Amino acid sequence: MKKDLVTLGEALVVFSPADAGPLRFVHNFTKSIGGAEANVAIALSRLGHKAGWISRLGNDEFGRYVRYALQGEGIDLSQVTLDDNLPTGILFKEQYHNSNPNVYYYRKGAAITAMGKEFINPEYIVNAKILHTTGILPALSANTKEATFEAIQIARNAGVMVSFDPNLRLKLWSKEDAKITLLEMAKNADIIFPGLDEAEFLLGTSDIDKICKQLHEMGIKLVVIKLGKDGCIISDESNKVTLPGFHVHRLIDTVGAGDGFAAGFLSGLIDNKPLYECGEMANGVGAMATLVRGDTEGYPTRQQLLEFMGKAKAVER
């Protein structure tokens, strides 16, 4: 069955602290799912689209938990393989009294690091409308870097739209390696979702006009710059528009908001909506993600998103 979107990447089991403060003083945690590409698949599925995810998990209880959770979201996992020898990755959040938690990863030697290009099924990618990629997977190992570029090349050869979110993670690799690889991915993308800081890292400028011009000159058709609470800027080579963000009264957790943003925009594209409506949906999903603790817990259904954006009336009782 043809998918609206296929993505490949890592999923981690996330442990969030019950209390704020250094982890050495925290004794209780809640368990959930995290991982940028899986987040996008979950957000899109909740919005009513068919999403597939390519990955490797440990054949362990954490891997089974990830499969259970993603299957419950309606995501196709036919391209997920289990490793009997390598574990599923985990991460711990450390919450002080601010919106952005510290994050500690335990993913070295995880099952995903053994996912090379031989695990990429061309037919699966060819039968998708969009291939979504991020800069996290190629940073994990030489194997995953090969798999990432293999998937991108298959998509480009088949005319499948390539979506790219840089998702810069300097804990994973050097600035030099990150810049070289992310720019190469950008040159092969049809749409890119950089934050302003990521664009400046890649291009050496914070000037919006220069950023859009340089990215379009690479061959990228759509540039969508994330501005956090201030919304986003969308450029399609001929026009550039700024869309304000939605006001959030009580910010709870910003992790996963960028992935939700990308999913909201891609949802609009899949439904052939005008670009400004795609941007509104992106801003809406991104804002709603910050209202709930956890990477994916705040992602809305289609009806919830419309109500949040003031485009549908909620029936409360």
Q: 250-306: per-residue pLDDT in tens? A: 888 888 999 999 999 999 999 999 999 999 999 999 999 999 888 899 999 999 999
pLDDT at 173: 93
pLDDT at 313: 80
Q: 75 to each of 7, 44, 66, how far by Cα in Å?
A: 11, 9, 11
Q: Is the pLDDT of residue 98 over 90?
A: no
Measured between alpha carbons, how far is 242 from 102 in angstroms, rounded to an integer?
A: 30
Which of 125-129, 162-166, 168-172, 188-192 has the lowest average pLDDT? 168-172
Active-site hit among 83, 190, 259, 295 = 259
Measured between alpha carbons, how far is 17 from 15 in angstroms, rounded to an integer?
A: 7
Q: 151-167: per-residue pLDDT in tens? A: 999 999 999 999 999 99
Measured between alpha carbons, how far is 236 from 212 in angstroms, rounded to an integer?
A: 9
Q: What are phi and psi of 207, to 5 degrees?
A: -75, 120
- Contact assessment for residue 276 and residue 268, using Cβ atoms and an 8 Å cutoff: no
Q: Is the pLDDT of residue 249 over 90?
A: no
Sheet holding 90-94, edge to edge: 29-34, 12-17, 90-94, 102-106
Alpha-carbon dihedral angle through residues 237, 259, 151, 178, given to the nearest 10 degrees: 80
**Confidence band for 101, pLDDT divided at 50, 70 and 90:** confident
**If you average pLDDT over residues 116-121, what whole number do you get?**
97
To the nearest whole percent, how much of the chain has pLDDT over 70? 98
pLDDT at 97: 65
**Confidence band for 95, pLDDT divided at 50, 70 and 90:** confident
CA diameter of the chain: 56
- Contact assessment for residue 143 and residue 171, using Cβ atoms and an 8 Å cutoff: no
Q: What are phi and psi of 106, to 5 degrees?
A: -130, 80
Measured between alpha carbons, how far is 85 from 59 in angstroms, rounded to an integer?
A: 8
pLDDT at 99: 57
Is-catalytic flag, 60?
A: no
pLDDT at 254: 85
**If you average pLDDT over residues 125-135, what whole number do you get?**
98
- Contact assessment for residue 168 and residue 42, using Cβ atoms and an 8 Å cutoff: no
Q: Is the pLDDT of residue 132 over 60?
A: yes
pLDDT at 316: 67
Measured between alpha carbons, how far is 161 from 191 in angstroms, rounded to an integer?
A: 8
